[in-house]
Amino acid sequence: MRGAISMFTDYQFKSLLIKTFERKTSSTSDGLSNHLVAKMKLADVRLDETADYTYYKGYNMGWNTLCTYLKLKVPFDDLDYFESQKTLITQVARSIYDKQGDNVLVDVVIVPLPENHIIIDFEQIKISDVVVQAVEDAESFMSSGEYQRAFDRVHTAFHGYLIEILKKYGIMASKDENLSKLYSRVQTLIETEIHPVEIADLVKTTIRSSNGMINSLNEVRNRHSLAHPNTSIIGKREAKLIIGIASTVTDYISGYLDK
């Protein structure tokens, strides 16, 4: 039975596909191609060279031609974009593949790429029912990659955690106080615990500078999250970044104060 005698590995074909779009971008200043290059780098590219016959007008082969499919596995959020560019991708891919043995590239198949979403750990702050519920909600959203929705729940959990820590040290805090103010009060407690004394001042500087991040977390939640009817919403990667920073800060706090 006849089959493909391809000169390409999947990696080689992906590399050529990307380089072709990069060349097109540099020669035409085509922003669309530049965007496609960035997206293509995240995709899984595979040539499926079959023994299925197809009618192909090129090379005067007619039905004596076999099918090759270019299979693109892309992030779920990019499916619509790749579908909109399918005609262009198919055209470029066919020009690269040409004819390998008896095979020609007949179509591009676009499917979602399985994603393993990172669930950022907040186990260390589960010190009240309210905080536990907020953390569990955030974990549920993160498990499906909905970091923008998890963002608000992390804010709620962090806010509740700071109040509980202050209460534990006999400091009353109102639920109406924002994150920045609560964190400032907590950092005062941390600074008395830092050892050795020789590096205390350096660490205090680091802790105080993180207050800017805490303030940003609060502002983004109020102005750019799904917690309110905002028109400009934080991006998925940015939400994930700030959630990760919040986890690091809470881990540091709990190491000193949650005993």
**Is 225's pLDDT higher than 90?**
no
Q: What is the distance between the alpha carbons of residues 213 and 160, in angstroms, rounded to a whole number?
A: 18
pLDDT-derived band at 33, boundaries 50, 70, 90: low
pLDDT-derived band at 34, boundaries 50, 70, 90: confident
Q: Would you call 73 helix, strand, or coil by DSSP?
A: strand
pLDDT-derived band at 235, boundaries 50, 70, 90: confident
Which runs of E-coded beta strand occur in the chain?
A: 44-56, 62-74, 99-100, 103-112
What strands lie across the sheet with 62-74, from one edge to the other?
Answer: 44-56, 62-74, 103-112, 99-100
pLDDT, residue 160, reads: 92
Strand-strand pairing, 99-100 and 103-112? antiparallel
Mean pLDDT of 64-93: 90
Q: Calculate ∠ Cα 172-139-40, nearest 5°.
A: 130
User: CB burial class (10 A; 0-12, 13-18, 19+) of residue 206?
Assistant: exposed
Residue type, 141: F
pLDDT digit string (tens) for 107-131?
A: 999 998 877 778 888 888 888 888 9
Whether the upstream peptide bond of residue 112 has omega within 30° of 0, thus cis, is: no
pLDDT-derived band at 58, boundaries 50, 70, 90: low
When the pLDDT of each residue in the chain is averaged and rounded to a whole number, the result is 84
**Is 27's pLDDT higher than 70?**
no
Q: What is the distance between the alpha carbons of residues 240 and 162, in angstroms, rounded to a whole number?
A: 21
pLDDT-derived band at 26, boundaries 50, 70, 90: low
pLDDT digit string (tens) for 143-186?
A: 888 888 898 899 999 999 999 999 988 998 888 898 889 988 98
pTM (2 decimals)?
0.59
**Considering only 85-89, 163-167, 232-236, which range has the smallest mean pLDDT?**
232-236
pLDDT-derived band at 1, boundaries 50, 70, 90: very low
pLDDT, residue 5, reads: 57
Mean pLDDT of 41-49: 91
Q: What is the distance between the alpha carbons of residues 102 and 232, in angstroms, rounded to a whole number?
A: 52
User: Nearest 10 degrees: CA dihedral of 128, 132, 134, 139?
Assistant: 160
Q: What is the distance between the alpha carbons of residues 32 and 237, in angstroms, rounded to a whole number?
A: 22
Contact 97, 71 (CB under 8 A): no
Distances (CA, A) of 247 to 11, 26, 42, 126, 195: 37, 42, 27, 12, 22
pLDDT-derived band at 10, boundaries 50, 70, 90: very high
pLDDT, residue 28, reads: 58
